[in-house]
A and B are shown apart, each in its own frame.
Chain A
Amino acid sequence: MLKLNDVMAGYGSTTILHGVSLEVNAGEIVTIVGGNGAGKTTTLRVISSLIRARSGQVQFEGRDITGMKAHKVVEAGITMVPEARQLFPEMTVLENLQMGSFTRHARAHYKEKLDEVVGLFPRVAERFSQQAQSLSGGEQQMVAIARGMMACPRLMLFDEPSLGLAPIVVKQVFDVVRAIAAGGTTVLIVEQNVYQTLKIADRGYVIENGEIVMGGEAEQLIGDDHVRKAYLGI
């Protein structure tokens, strides 16, 4: 479904990704594991075209989407739930969700998606008319995920969804991600909470210094010595 081929990217004069290649198949949950600054977030930002790849290709459903404008990528069916929520703070929760279904395709399915989201996040529905910035961190994360779902994506990218959340909320977030995948949306997730992520993922990649150094079944990675030492702290 998604295929990265030898992607190089960075900010200013700094190169972060030195040729990243990976694949995500339809219906999978795939995770990218790595230290801070290894290039996880940058990879997601390249896929969603928030930054431009210096070289290499990004293919989605057979189409080359490298260098496509960010808003076109959303129309193509990829939505990212960004790190640290990134809600529109001075808009209401409902307005945030409306912005989520901005594309023409999403707007056509606005009603049914909204029902689906309300079903999944009853708490969010209670807060519809509140300003997004007045919500707690956990609630904001739920709104961010709900907002992402409103775009009717076929591939959802999650960037550190559990960041800064209480452990109990973290568990809910992972449940939601699993539910989204079960609903037929493909998921690519980046997380510092490596163990829990690998537990829900089908496959995973390990990224170090902007290069994929390892990839495989999630189970296999959990058992891997290097991964256990470096990322699970065992």
Chain B
Amino acid sequence: MDLVFTNIVNGLMLGALYAIVSVGLTLVFGIVKVINFAHGEFLMVSMFLVYLVTTFFGVHPYFSLILVLPAAFVMGMLVQRLLIEPLQNSDEHIMIFATVGLSIALINLMLLIFGPDILNTPSSGLRQPVNIGSGMFLTGQLNILICAIAVVGGIHLFLTRTQLGRSIRATGQNRSAAQLMGINVSWIYMVTFGIGAACVGLAAVLIAPLYPTSPEVGQYFVLLSFVVVVMGGLGSITGALVASMIIGLVDAFAGFYLGANVKDLVVFGIFLLVLIFRPQGLFGGARNLSHVS
């Protein structure tokens, strides 16, 4: 029983991690209708930024938020403006290549600059373990869980209660009708991409003190993000949160009982089953099936 509890705690912590990384991805997909294959690299670049700011100024990693958040926001806006928007009317595959290209370029750029070595952001007490019965987690992990829930809730409120949020939803639901309302959709797309990237910036600030930073770190997270986002129903932010928790739990239990590699097999197996049999996600209805014929 204790083992089960330990794994549940672990699973929820992992789930929170996946959730905070995935929120931006699902938001961008839901509105701009682009699957950003470079999403993981947004995280990776932000983590490097956290490392630099933290070590350079010698501040607590969470302080780097002041710089990383706007930087990530601008990075997202620029990518939308310079790469995605020019391709708005091209074939689907062109968009995939564009973001895949961005992903490869960013990984290797960081490899060029920082080399293949792993960098460790100072943990500043965030690796302090907290014990609840047989369960154990780090204070930093708890912060991730709190922030993940806060971000999902915050974005939900933002999208439903503010005029900007409503215009973002309107644009996502019907682009040309939104234009006819007087909404500047290319601006909305840029803002959305920026918010998506800023979410990743926040994730980076929370993750960097706990996990090593390397050019490949984004790859590791992004594959799981795709799993979570597809499972939760593309574009559904609360769906992504729930799916994150499920995958986190699967991850924890499979990792514990089956080993690290087989765990990946289980996760990708679930992903493929969802993709093939429930492409609209576990919770979605029959709508939003634009990606299958």
Contact = CB atoms under 8 A, between A and B. Distances in A.
| Touch between chains A and B, by CB atoms below 8 Å | yes
Interface of A: 48, 50, 69-71, 74-75, 79-80, 82, 86-91, 95, 98-100, 102-103, 106, 147-148, 151
Given A88-B170, A91-B170, A99-B166, A151 B177 contact: no
B261 interface: no
A89 B173 contact: yes
Contacts of B180: 48, 50, 70, 74, 79-80, 82, 86, 148
Contacts of B134: none
Given A88-B169, A91-B166, A102 B182 contact: yes
B183 interface: yes
A95 B166 contact: yes
A98 B181 CA distance: 10
B247 to A, nearest CB: 26
Contact of A91 (B163, B169, B176, B182): B169
B131 to A, nearest CB: 44
B184 interface: yes
Contacts of A88: 169-170, 173-174, 177-178
Interface of B: 163, 166-167, 169-170, 173-174, 176-185
B184 A69 contact: yes
Contacts of B182: 71, 74-75, 102-103, 106, 151
Given A71-B179, A99-B166, A99-B167, A87 B174 contact: yes
Contact of B173 (A71, A75, A91): A91
A74 B180 CA distance: 7
26 contacts: A48-B179, A50-B176, A50-B180, A70-B179, A70-B185, A71-B179, A71-B182, A71-B185, A74-B181, A79-B180, A82-B177, A86-B180, A88-B170, A88-B173, A88-B174, A88-B178, A89-B173, A90-B169, A90-B173, A91-B173, A98-B163, A99-B170, A99-B178, A99-B183, A102-B163, A102-B167
Nearest to A90: B173
Contacts of B166: 91, 95, 98-99
A147 B177 CA distance: 10
Given A95-B166, A98-B166, A151 B174 contact: no
Q: Which of A88, A89, A95 has the most CB of B within 10 A?
A: A88
Q: Which of B169, B173, B176 has the most CB of A within 10 A?
A: B173
Nearest to A144: B177
B176 A86 contact: yes
A87 B170 CA distance: 9
A41 B167 CA distance: 25
